[in-house]
Chains A and B, each alone.
Chain A
Amino acid sequence: MERAAFVLLAVSRRSERGEKKHANVRAAVLDSPQRVIPARRRAIRPPRGSWAPTFENGAFKRRPSPIKLVKAVFIFLLSGLILLFYLVFYGFLAALFTFTMWVMLQTLSSDIPKYRDRIASPGLMISPKPDTALEFYFNKSDSQSYAEYVSTLRQFLETYDDSKQAQNIDCTPGKVFDQNDEAVKKACRFNLSELGQCSGKEDKTFGYSRGTPCVLVKMNRIIGLKPEGEPYIECSTKDEGTVQIIYFPPGGLIDLMYFPYYGKSLHAHYLQPLVAVQLAINSNSTKEEITIECKILGSPNLKNEDDRDKFLGRIAFKVQMTE
């Protein structure tokens, strides 16, 4: 697209030039050329063709009418030549670009990226994710106010539906599920029931209607990441006594059997483990804005205190509920 713009630009400049060119021929002959060129070159031959102006007795003799037409054709041809040049030139560059990109892509594996050093440690994210920067505002008695959260959660959990997990296997809990040697990587089953009240099975509104909203915390997928220790999610709030936090699975545990992840193409059915956080907001704390910070703890190789990256192993969000 940008290339086309340049071609157009070039063409318009060039054709302008073409028009000037004819008028300049005479000046060019009479005035000194800018570089002294050997005599052989200095003679400017008028372009061949009957219309060409001739240089006789020190002045050009103008020939009558058909000249104009031929001139126009000539200018068209000249600009055509330039157009052709840029077409070929940019065509070549485009081909070269495509070719080098193709070569580069050939060196890449389709399974895992070449380098993963830029994402050594995973970030945390929540679902539902409000449009306005991680702030939940809703009225527990107005279903319309949290409908979007609910539908997002429902949509998000659809992939975790038992029917979708038919081919997933039950893995051994508490142990990293290494399958490096396997050609087909299997995905571990994540039972929605583990999310308890936040699974959406009993309470279709994920607690929003009862003033106990659920928020799912998930850890970013990173290929090959094997958490050490016993990672778990812990949330806290500075405003003590405003909210009670309940974790599903209990203790906010993230089971090691869901790691490592082998990438989209090898590990197509992979489901990342979730931790549901149910916020039981005290009835006297409604209308207050409560800041909740969740962190991943218990695993030495998962960072959660980076100065610059506020989402590395942690996440903060606000909840404000009205009645």
Chain B
Amino acid sequence: IQLLEVTQHVETHKHIKSDDHKLSTEELEEKYGTSISKGLSSARAAEILARDGPNSLTPPKATPEIVKFLKQMVGGFSILLWIGAAFSWISFGIQFAQGAESPFDNLYLGVVLALVVILTGIFAYYQEAKSTNIMASFSKMIPQQALVIRDAEKKELPADQLVVGDIVEIKGGDRIPADIRLIFTQGCKVDNSSLTGESEPQSRSCDFTHENPLETRNIAFYSTTCVEGTATGIVINTGDRTIIGRIASLASGVGNGKTPIAIEIEHFVYLVAGVAISIGVLFFIISVSMRYKILDSIIFLIGIIVANVPEGLLATVTVSLSLTAKRMAKKNCLVKNLEAVETLGSTSIICSDKTGTLTQNRMTVAHLWFDDQIYSADTSEDQTTQPFDQSSQTWTALSKIVTLCNRAEFRPGQENLPVMKRVVVGDASETALLKFAEVVLGDVMDIRARNKKVAEIPFNSTNKFQLSIHETDDRNDKRFLLVMKGAPERILERCSTIMINGKEEPLDSEKAEAFQTAYMELGGMGERVLGFCHLYLPENEFPDTYPFDTDSMNFPTSNLCFVGLLSMIDPPRSTVPDAVSKCRSAGIKVIMVTGDHPITAKAIAKSVGIISATSETVEDMAKRLNVPVERVDRRQATAAVVNGMELKDMSLQQLDEVLCNHSEIVFARTSPQQKLIIVEGCQRQGAVVAVTGDGVNDSPALKKADIGIAMGIAGSDAAKNAADMVLLDDNFASIVTGVEEGRLIFDNLKKTIAYTLTKNIAELCPFLIYIIASIPMPIGTITILFIDLGTDIIPSVALAYEKAESDIMNRRPRNKSKDRLVNEQLAVYSYLHIGIMQSVGAFVTYFTVYAEQGFLPTTLLGVRVNWESNAINDFEDSYGQEWTKYQRTYLQWTGYTAFFVSITIQQVADLIIRKTRRNSIFQQGLFRNKVIWVGIFSQIGIALILTYGLGHVTALNFTPLRFQYWFVAVPFAILIWVYDEVRKLFIRRYPGSWWDKNMYY
């Protein structure tokens, strides 16, 4: 609301300031020091360019790179790891001062931790920079050119070189390169929809028609498009000083909330950090009270933190998201902001534009009425024939009128293209008729050539008809054929007969009634209806040489023969109804927001299923029950068509009520500003709202929405800048594909996190047991980092490739506040079930290694102090042998390696079970996701390299390991798999049970 005020403020401000539209051409020339015939001189233009800067919109102010980088360095788990590093250095300092024997271990550990933070930070920064670049490159794809007169020459210049005072020429199809005061026009029309949201092209002339520069006809605005005609004008504003520039800078003021996935990850980080800190502190207290030295306790604390923090996870999440973003780009959803990938998945309301998104954005003949019967035409995108009955003589006559009474033409050189794809010069309705005729009859241009046009009156708004007179291609028939099309009621007025089955019959009241019924019916479908009539001029009155004069109209324009009606509509894209029904089953509400007429909007909404066949609006119910609208119970109507005018008068509560009570809503005749109000209304319902938009004025709504979707083809740059996602094919169905991908990635991230969290317990338990039972350290801090950042990375990314378990488009959108990414079940199951099992397996390996080397489990309990003492070099094992400190340490590293290998082996099982959360692995297919296998092999490969390849590098604390120790944990890995299969089986078999509630994550 505030924004609207600001917009208005800017508008009034502008109103006061600008008077260029009131000035005469001469005054303008003087004001801008230019000449209409010669333009500016290059030197002068360069001067102004230096003064005003390039003619482009300043991109929103970016955060400095260094700030972005530092943010990555302290975000997420980094703080915890920095604390760990700091503790390491502190304990190094203390030990060094005390002159202990190996203080450098802690120094190295601190360095490693810092490196981990810095490297993951750099990685995250790089990822972010990459995704930002995608968009930057996207907007630079097509540099706009402008035709400028400078130094009395016509030149093509990049549009950003334009300066105030330049004379530019514009023709149909061009984008207006700056705000321009027009000084010469020829049939010029501009599409201001990107600015004002009006979808009808506005005609432009040189006349000053309105006080308000936004309303007057002699100004064309930057970023709008010229639809037809040509014009020349003087540039009066460039860059940010254009109207668009002012609005665009407003959009950056709209708050941009955190994405749901960002919130989820934050929640997850808090959870894990909470667990890490509380366990760390708890054991710090325990170890201090167990009379460990403070320094040792601090070292334990570091270990616990490192074990608890999934160092590689945030990088993995980023990679998974960017993989999905790539996949979505292939499906025509270009995601600017990585996190938007998932946001799309949690979308619960889509506010979609109609034109171009739900529809094909071109008028197409949808129905015909002749011989007192309505025929439907094929409106699909790639029609090649028309299936309706074409045998009637009336159709022959009608087709002739459609073909001849039409000024639209194909641009030459497109013979090989499908008809529907060819570019046409002409307005929307004529284009529709031309293509329709081309599809049905074949070469229209040839037919026109054979029926030479002798006279023509183009359509104008006073006549509301178009007329032309042709010679016929029938050699024996020397009569001229007069053909006419126009507003049906106007055409009917001029007719006295009507053609039925090829025969002219008098137009009596009964036939007129039939016409009315058909007209109403077609109009009621939201279609634009045209009437067609003809007359063969008698040969004796109109001989070959008759001079037809369109000004004096020396030919009959009444008592014609009515032939039929054609109605046109911008038809829905053929993939849309399917997509809408997918949304419906996915629990996503689709709201249509359009500037179009309510009837058209409702018709399209019905045809694509936004309003389902059975539901009624209040008006429909009133009509059916035959009672006034006020007496209908509003709650009973599931559908609603809300007019922009009504919306204007609604209070917020009323709007909430509408949004709440009706499941199928269409907003018609809305302005882009109202879109913002609708989005805010939806968000008040707690919905995650996706909004499509193309115009500049849509950008506030796009920004405000949880996910703003800009149109790639029709969209303005401002909209693309404000959006989180760009729809490359402008197709609504692509949004739905995007939703599907978004939901999938949410599920898969859950799996990734569950996978990653599990082993944290297997990394943590050693520390806890080490502290409590005083056994030799089972796993080293460095080793843990090798799991977190080595073996586990590729497998956790591999889970992003997992296919959906069931039809994810058949469930409701995620409830933002309840369905967390990391919920209690996930944490409990990962930590307290699988994690504990993994720990048990790893400890069995650990004890096996020690026992087979001579230290039976019972000997190990309570030995920590002596074991770690540098002074004891005759430490006795269970068999009476004596060990030096280094021999023990080497054995301890072997223990680390064994523990590491066991965790790796069990993580393979963990990876396999995480493929599904509900289905059996065998239902999902063990080999369908090949990347998982890449993950498994990489995991084992890295473990092999670390143990056997780098086993002699002491700093890494790995040692070569006897081959059989790789298999000690295998039974536990199998157990994990079996246990999880049982869990899933019970979940499937006893849905809603205690088990389901506690075990499904």
Contacts and interface: CB of A to CB of B under 8 A. Distances in A.
A, B from the same assembly: yes
Given A2-B768, A97-B844, A310-B886, A116 B874 contact: no
A263 B856 CA distance: 14
A44 B996 CA distance: 13
Interface stretch (A33-41, A61-69, A163-171, A244-252): A33-41
B833 interface: yes
Contacts of B840: 93, 96-97
Interface in A92-123: 93, 96-97, 100-101, 104-105, 108, 111-116, 118-119, 122-123
B587 A118 contact: no
A318 interface: no
A17 interface: yes
A1 B887 CA distance: 30
A64 B309 CA distance: 48
B874 A123 contact: yes
Interface in A17-37: 17, 31-37
Interface residues on A, range: 35 or more
A101 B971 CA distance: 13
Interface stretch (A145-153, A220-228, A235-243, A288-296): A220-228
A217 to B, nearest CB: 11
A19 B851 CA distance: 47
Interface string B582-620: 000001000000000000000000000000000000000
Contacts of B954: 308
Contacts of B880: 221, 223, 261, 263-264, 267, 270
A157 interface: no
Contacts of B773: 1
B963 interface: no
B874 A309 contact: no
A311 B879 contact: no
Interface in A256-270: 261, 263-265, 267, 270
Contact of B818 (A17, A34, A41, A270): A34
B815 interface: yes
Interface in B617-641: none
Interface in A57-105: 78, 81-82, 86, 89-90, 93, 96-97, 100-101, 104-105
Contact of B881 (A2, A81, A97, A119): A119
A218 interface: yes
Interface stretch (B231-239, B384-392, B806-814): B806-814
A32 B881 contact: no
A308 B848 CA distance: 26
Contact of A36 (B587, B769, B879): B587
Interface in B801-824: 810-812, 814-815, 818-819, 824
Give the one of B824, B848, B874, B878 with max A CB within 10 A: B874
A187 B851 CA distance: 26
B841 to A, nearest CB: 9
Interface in B752-794: 765, 768-769, 772-773
B769 A311 contact: no
A244 B5 CA distance: 101
B87 interface: no
A264 B876 CA distance: 10
A220 B881 CA distance: 7
A13 interface: yes
B881 A222 contact: yes
B550 interface: no
A108 B852 contact: yes
Interface string B863-875: 0000000111110
A119 B991 contact: no
Interface residues of B, number: 58
B772 A113 contact: no
Nearest to A125: B874
Contact of B812 (A32, A38, A265): A32
Interface string A128-171: 01010110000000000000000000000000000000000000
B852 A41 contact: no
B927 interface: no
B147 to A, nearest CB: 57
Nearest to A220: B882
B746 to A, nearest CB: 11
Nearest to B995: A85
B906 to A, nearest CB: 13
A315 interface: yes
Contacts of A112: 879
Contact of B882 (A122, A133, A265): A122
A2 B851 contact: no
Contacts of B877: 113
A265 B870 CA distance: 28
Contacts of B818: 31, 34
Contact of B851 (A108, A116, A308): A108
Contact of A312 (B812, B819, B886): B886
Contacts of A1: 772-773
A315 B873 CA distance: 9
A31 B883 contact: no
A104 B815 contact: no
A113 B837 contact: no
Contact of A118 (B812, B833, B878, B891): B891
Interface of A: 1-3, 5-6, 9-10, 13, 17, 31-38, 41, 44-45, 78, 81-82, 86, 89-90, 93, 96-97, 100-101, 104-105, 108, 111-116, 118-119, 122-125, 129, 131, 133-134, 218, 220-223, 261, 263-265, 267, 270, 306, 308-312, 315
19 contacts: A9-B832, A10-B832, A31-B815, A33-B812, A86-B832, A97-B843, A100-B971, A101-B857, A112-B879, A113-B881, A116-B881, A118-B891, A129-B872, A131-B871, A221-B880, A221-B882, A223-B881, A264-B878, A306-B886
Given A116-B853, A223-B881, 7 more contacts: A6-B832, A97-B840, A123-B883, A123-B887, A125-B874, A220-B884, A221-B876
